[in-house]
Amino acid sequence: MQAGQGPGNEPVDEPGRAPDRTRRLTARDLALVAVFAALIVVLGMPGALFAGSPVPITLQTLGVMLAAALLGWKRAALVMLTVIALVAVGLPVLAGGRGGLGVFAGPTVGYLLGWVPGSIVTGYLVERARRLTPLVLFGAILLGGVVVIHACGIPGMMWRAHLDLPAALVADAVYLPGDLVKAVLATVVALGVHRASPDLLPRRA
């Protein structure tokens, strides 16, 4: 048996080395991915259209922020890809019971696809943080969960809703106050969860 291998030739952490918890997915990881994917679906149920806007108001971005802040970039990205896959096969998992390939031709496509890079940015920054202070966590959630997602959503509205850039920016601005509130709420919840379960977030050596 070689050093660094277990009885079944599976890799194990060597003595004196910090455990590499980003090496592979475990059953626990997959369970967390499933739970957070379900949470995002549930948070989309009360979604409704805002007057004059083609994009629904929804709590699903709160689920995106929480998944990234709690699970790290890899598992959070898998959560988003799972939800997007469910949409693609036609399940009504988005706000208003929407699903199917038609969603990817609608004005929300940029926001939906933006969940993936947004969660990766937040999760990566959280994993790399030396200390998860409220300011650091809020900054990571704000950058990935608001800035990145909105940066993806605006071109989607321009493309599918046939808006010019100023009109798309005005339409997008409607959602900024709510998303800032969600970012604060996600920060508070994530700090509490990390204090209760400090081993939840994978940390790099």
Alpha-carbon span 106 to 91, nearest angstrom: 16
Alpha-carbon span 162 to 168, nearest angstrom: 9
Two structure tokens written together for 172:
């997008």
Q: At residue 102, what is the residue type?
A: G
**8 touches 195 (CB < 8 A):** no
Alpha-carbon span 175 to 55, nearest angstrom: 9
Cα dist. 56→44, 94, 128, 175, 201 in Å? 10, 10, 33, 9, 31
- Residue bearing tokens 């994993």: 127
pTM: 0.83
pLDDT at 103 (0 to 100): 92
CATH code of the region 27-196 = 1.10.1760.20
| 46, 41, 157, 85: CA torsion to nearest 10 | -160
CB atoms within 10 A of CB 68: 33
SS3 99: coil
Alpha-carbon span 200 to 102, nearest angstrom: 36
pLDDT (tens digit, 0 to 9) for every residue of the chain, 205 residues total? Answer: 444 555 445 444 444 444 444 458 899 999 999 999 999 999 887 655 444 455 567 789 999 999 999 999 999 999 999 999 999 999 999 887 889 999 999 988 999 999 999 999 999 999 999 889 999 999 999 999 999 999 999 999 999 999 999 999 999 998 899 999 999 999 999 999 999 998 888 765 4
* Helix ranges, 44-133 (H): 60-71, 73-88, 109-128
Alpha-carbon span 3 to 165, nearest angstrom: 58
